[in-house]
Structure 1
Amino acid sequence: MTQKTRAGQYHLFAMPMGSGGHMAGWRHEEAEPAALMTLGYWQHIARTAERGMFDALFLADSQGFRPIAGVDAFAATDAIRLDPLVLHGALAASTQNLGLVATVSTSYNEPYAIARRLSTLDHVSAGRAAWNVVTSTSENEAHNFGREAHYGHAERYARAEEAIAVCKGLWDGWEDGAVIADKASGVFFEAAKVNGLYHKGEHFCVAGPLTMGRSPQGHPLIVQAGASEEGLELAARTADAVFTSHPTMESGVAFYAGLKKRVAAAGRDPESLRIMTAIQPVPAVTAEQAEAEAKALNEAIPPKLALSYLKTVLGGIDLSRYDLDGPLPELPDSNASLGTRQRIIDMGASGMTLGEIAVAVAASRTSRSLAGTAATIADELERWYEARACDGFVIAPPSLPVMLDRFVDLVVPELQRRGRVRTAYKGSTLRENLGLGRPQSCYTVDPALRAEPEIWQG
């Protein structure tokens, strides 16, 4: 255990990827892949995360069916994805303190609908809603929403920034205290405190206001994961938390310092952004058991599936004609995630073969894999936190629910013993538990904004 030089407790997000973050996690003897589409499965995961004092449950999503090639590739359980907002609505009633992070694409959703649904979730969860803002990378997603081709990278981010601004404007529309429900006077709400948006932009035209009062958090939390130049700049200007993944601590340290610097350059306090790095832990009572399970999971990934998945994350680049024991070939440009592409290039530069990279990506999606005892895993988390590679961790169990159960039963008590994880929730909202302030309505800050702009004709 390292000597503490950085005070504070870790923030923890749980990120259940279907039946596990590992591509073969569903094949673990204690995994429950057949229950993926049942509420009971997700209730167990959410309640376990809450028992482990996690800040939030993070649900990834895509509205498209990913390309699948080869007979073996039909073992891919990530083809199944339930709608995160619908699922979180149910989980809000099953938990009391756990934050609920829903992935919603700005490419194939309108901002009014996004703002309304997230505000609803914030109300019914008593202030635990968060929005993972994504721009989509799947070509199939475009085909599901009436487009012949997916938006280009720059257009996706321009659309995302405008969508976030529209949502924040809508969330501000109802000022605090607008709903008074005064039975004696017959006044239900103060009309002067309900403001239209009157937005006309490059991508969206939205009148507003929303159909409900201001939510408990003011704005549901904004979470992002983009690692391209556009993604980092957008996060620096707009995000409350950033989810990232790094195969090495050194790359995490560089990312952390660079993004905090961008936040300051955007005129924000660097401490107003929480940077969360993904860890894929295989906890066990003994090191031998943990290492054996990690090895067995990697060996259970069919080679065709590993290459198929690598092709997908690289935006359709087919590497099947190259020698698996040879180096990563030069990658052409694509319309996929630039951050993920760069991390794969970095793996190749470190000396990993194409086959090793394919298995590593299929196993952990470029996150740090970590097999060991509770003390070993706690030591590694301490090392990353002390080095300022993150403000907390996104725990992506390789197999579910078994390895989330183990993390909570084995690792969390060790982290609590070290004073790094809370023993009770202190706040009533996700913002409070993350130590983030509640934004005021812009109309409360500047009442002059209440005037209806003359340009609006709708």
Structure 2
Amino acid sequence: MHLNVHPVAAGHHPGAWRWPGADPVAFSRIEGYLDVARTAERGLLDAVFLADVPGLHADLTDYPIVNGLEPTLVLTAMAVVTERIGLVGTASTTYNEPYNIARRFRALDLISHGRAGWNAVTTSGPRVAGNFTAHEPDSAERYARAQEFVSVVRKLWESWAPDALVTDVASGRYADMARIRPIDHHGSHYDVAGPISLPPSEQGYPVIFHAGVSDSVRTLTARTGEVMFSAVVDPDAALADISDIRSRALAFGRPAGSVLFLPGLVTSVAGTEEEALERREELDELSGNEGALFAVAATLGLDPGDLALDRPVPEALRGGLHRVGGHARAVARLALEGRTVRDIVRRGGGGGHVVAVGAPEQVADLIQTWFESGAVDGFTLMPDVTFDGLPAFVDEVVPILQRRGLFRTAYEGSTLREHYGLALPDVAPRDRATVPRASAERITSSA
């Protein structure tokens, strides 16, 4: 199976910032991120996955919904202190230009020697749109732009042949410009001449991720994605999701197994089930009733004042939940089942992700059940509290998965594509000596 980790500031639980020993402003400090990268690599995880929203998109008075530092800057710092772990960053296709994203992630891929991934998202919401434009594109426009955006980025990444750099010191010939091709893209949204200014990495180009559960995300993933991050709460729904996406991918002419499905898994791990439940309850108390209500209300687009922690979502408000999409779909399903708000929080809260609370063996059992059902290719771990939750998983759960033959005991390759078992793109150099490595090796050795 494959395991990523998705660290968010102090942790994924709303009460994480108040947990003893946690750093309340971890989202703005690089040290915690570097600790995550080192710990994840010690656990042989596939990648660190960083989400991002380019703006302050929520009220921070009581509940710290904030983004961290800009992902590619953080991942570049992580690249210097690690050797194998994959490095996946989010960047919006709505509020960027293809050339800038292609160049930024190509640079990260070269700096890390082929460990980069790009999570291409469309980004929505008036608070973010107001930072860039007076007109927020509707969903159809955002996804049409995204499809072309990803296509342009890939064309730019493919604009250098693997053998374009000659670097013949004796003859003085540095590059074969016939092997560095303009892309001359002229589309509905972008006109880009190209080529890009950097050669391919050891893995050719970064692994392409998409995130979400909407129909538009599924189509985009089936067409261009290689890994999907999503929110699910039960194996049957997850199996239906991945089956649908893979069917669409086949319809686009892509081979079977082109897309890996790694949904989120919120973890609360302790020595015993009782201790894990106590940990979760203490975190719930730290977040306060207001935090729990806010999380569910924000996800479902409801007023927190209309909810009560130990009551279901009022019947009068459930009608609109049938139309809820995206990550909120899983939470809406729980609400439509008549579960109390408290139960909704415990089963995934505002994020709609499956929650694993228990002793290491119990968490491993849950992961194994999902994986062996064929519903997932693994998970993207979302520790309740980052600084102690991730080490608990790495030190206690990973060894159990290894003993059961479900997870690697050593990295077999050095690139992210090798970790995931993904094929090299056609432009990827087969001879790694064709990629200049001297400057990056100097950085690593001096760190």
Question: What is the one-letter code of the residue matched to 1:434?
Answer: Y
The equivalent of 1:3 in structure 2 is none
The equivalent of 2:270 in structure 1 is 284
The equivalent of 1:403 in structure 2 is 389
Q: Secondary structure at the match of 2:205?
A: coil
Q: Secondary structure at the match of 2:73?
A: helix
The equivalent of 2:358 in structure 1 is 372
What TM-score, normalized to structure 1?
Answer: 0.88
Deviation string for 1:52-83 (max 9, x for gaps)? 00000000110111231xxxx52333324210
**Using the alignment, how far apart are the partners of 1:239 and 1:169 within structure 2?**
15
Q: Secondary structure at the match of 2:318?
A: coil
**Using the alignment, how far apart are the partners of 1:290 and 1:348 within structure 2?**
25
The equivalent of 1:137 in structure 2 is 124
Pairing of 1:135-214 with structure 2 (within 5 A): 135-145=122-132, 147-214=133-200
Deviation string for 1:163-192 (max 9, x for gaps)? 000000000001111011111111111010
**Using the alignment, how far apart are the partners of 2:286 and 2:340 within structure 1?**
19
The CA RMSD over aligned residues, in Å, is 2.2
Which stretches in structure 2 are left out of the alignment for 5+ residues? 431-447
Matched-pair contact (CA < 8 Å) for 2:53–2:67? no
2:303 is aligned with 1:318: yes
The equivalent of 1:66 in structure 2 is 57
Q: Secondary structure at the match of 1:12?
A: strand
Displacement after TM superposition at 1:117 (Å): 0.3
Distance 1:354 1:38, change over 3 A: closer
Matched-pair contact (CA < 8 Å) for 1:64–1:138? no
Question: What is the one-letter code of the residue matched to 2:303?
Answer: D
Matched-pair contact (CA < 8 Å) for 1:221–1:240? yes
Deviation string for 1:402-456 (max 9, x for gaps)? 00010001001111111111111001110011100111139x9xxxxxxxxxxxx
Q: Secondary structure at the match of 1:272?
A: coil
Displacement after TM superposition at 1:331 (Å): 6.0
Pairing of 1:235-254 with structure 2 (within 5 A): 235-254=221-240
**Using the alignment, how far apart are the partners of 1:189 and 1:80 within structure 2?**
41
2:250 is aligned with 1:259: no
Q: Secondary structure at the match of 2:38?
A: helix
Question: What is the one-letter code of the residue matched to 2:89?
Answer: A
- 2:14 pairs with one of 23, 27, 43: 23
The equivalent of 2:107 in structure 1 is 120
**Using the alignment, how far apart are the partners of 2:14 and 2:313 within structure 1?**
22
2:25 is aligned with 1:37: no
Question: What is the one-letter code of the residue matched to 1:61?
Answer: D
Question: What is the one-letter code of the residue matched to 1:406?
Answer: A
Which stretches in structure 1 are left out of the alignment for 5+ residues? 1-9, 445-458
Question: What is the one-letter code of the residue matched to 2:96?
Answer: N
Matched-pair contact (CA < 8 Å) for 1:19–1:77? no
**Using the alignment, how far apart are the partners of 1:36 and 1:327 within structure 2?**
32
Q: Secondary structure at the match of 2:303?
A: coil
Question: What is the one-letter code of the residue matched to 2:72?
Answer: L
The equivalent of 2:438 in structure 1 is none
Question: What is the one-letter code of the residue matched to 1:52?
Answer: G
**Using the alignment, how far apart are the partners of 2:369 and 2:249 within structure 1?**
24
Displacement after TM superposition at 1:284 (Å): 1.1
Question: What is the one-letter code of the residue matched to 2:318?
Answer: E
Q: Secondary structure at the match of 1:270?
A: coil
2:381 is aligned with 1:381: no
Matched-pair contact (CA < 8 Å) for 1:245–1:367? yes
Question: What is the one-letter code of the residue matched to 2:207?
Answer: L
Pairing of 1:286-435 with structure 2 (within 5 A): 286-314=272-300, 317-318=302-303, 320-321=305-306, 325-328=311-314, 329-330=317-318, 332=320, 338-354=325-341, 356-357=343-344, 363=349, 365-435=351-421
**Using the alignment, how far apart are the partners of 1:323 and 1:280 within structure 2?**
23
**Using the alignment, how far apart are the partners of 1:320 and 1:284 within structure 2?**
34
Question: What is the one-letter code of the residue matched to 1:77?
Answer: P
What TM-score, normalized to structure 2?
Answer: 0.90
